[in-house]
Amino acid sequence: MKKKKGKIILAVVVGIFLFIQLYPVVWLFMASIKPSVELATEPFALPQNPTFVNYIDIFNEGSIFRYMWNSVKVTVTSILLILVLSSTAGFALAKFNFRISKPIYAFFTFGIMIPVQITLIPLFCFYSDMGILNSPITLVLPQVGFALPLSVMMFVSFYSFVPNELIEAAVIDGCSPYGAFFKVVFPLAKNTVITVASMYYILIWNDFIFANTFISDNKAKTVALGLRDYVGAFGNVNWGMTFAAIAVTILPPMLVYFALNKYVTAGMTLGATKG
């Protein structure tokens, strides 16, 4: 009897926590299908006259496609670079027998402590000297740099599970170190690749601080910046359109997350527990 009571209390507490975590998200989708009058007067009630006019408005207005395309460009380039650089560097650190590997690995992990804000002023100056402010590359550079510590760590920790004998065998069979990497080791790292990619996909897609500093041109804005631009007739924020835009732009990370959530959370936990 006592046990059953405990179970019920547990379920209720878990339910309350879950409600707190999910309510704002549910509210967001509800707000996006409310007509603007209703949003202003009854922002927290269930939608009485659901409408998709906000969605039609943002699609007609059209800038959302540009924002998303810009974000796609930055995100895809960054992830490709992160994967190429960290899978190779991880291989060098885990599978070559040099004494210098250990300090270099420590040097990479040191980066986890560095706050990203430190780069803003120097990179801003550097970019404006080069005249490349407002180009997607300005976002790729710091994104990749700050992703490397954790992603290198994740690849090293995976490679250390690949038995050395496997590589020795490949070398005896006439593989060069490059062959051993491309034909033997890298194909095994599929899970790590998906983990790193899905984790950083979400982080980079949502980036605000770099975009806000290096991008000011409307044509180059990414979603996180563009979301602040839905302004109505009198210079006020058009909340209905803003919420609809938010709902559309969080869909891509949501889809990836629900499809690959095992990998996403695996990345976070692995990164944290393997330290």
Partner 1 sequence: MNGVLKDKKAFLAFLLPALLFYLFSVFYPIEESIRLSFMKWGGLGEKKFIGFQNYIHLFSDKVFYTAFFNNLIYLVIVVGIQILVGLLFAVLLTYLTKGVSLIKTLYYVPCIITTVAVTQLFRSMYATQPVGIINQILNAVGLEKFATSWLTNVKTVLVCVSIPEGWRYTGMYMVIFYAALISLDPEVCEAAKMDGANAWKTLIFIKLPMIKEVLLLSLTMVLTGALRGFDIPFILTNGGPGNVSELMSTYMYKKAFGSNQFGYGSAIAVFIIVESMLVVGVLRILFTSKEERNERRIRKNARKALKGKQKRQGA
144 or 220: CB nearest partner 1: 144
Instruction: Tell me the C-alpha distance between 86 and 100, whole Å.
Output: 17
62 or 103: CB nearest partner 1: 103
Instruction: Tell me the C-alpha distance between 48 and 212, whole Å.
Output: 37
Residue with the two structure tokens 């990497």: 181
141 or 189: CB nearest partner 1: 141
51 or 157: CB nearest partner 1: 157
Question: What Cα–Cα distance (Å) separates residue 119 from each residue in 138, 139, 177, 215?
Answer: 11, 11, 35, 15
CB of 194 to partner 1, least distance (A): 16
CB of 106 to partner 1, least distance (A): 11
56 or 255: CB nearest partner 1: 255
Contact predicate 183/252, CB 8 Å:
no
How many whole angstroms from its chain centre is CA 139? 13
CB of 147 to partner 1, least distance (A): 10
Paired tokens of 168: 């020795």
State the sign of the Cα–Cα–Cα–Cα dihedral 212, 217, 222, 224: positive
With vertex at residue 136, the alpha carbon angle to CA 68 and CA 206, rounded to the nearest 5 degrees, is 50
64 or 144: CB nearest partner 1: 144
State the sign of the Cα–Cα–Cα–Cα dihedral 144, 145, 149, 153: positive
**Which pairs with CB-CB distance under 8 Å and at least 24 residues apart come from 169-177?**
177/96
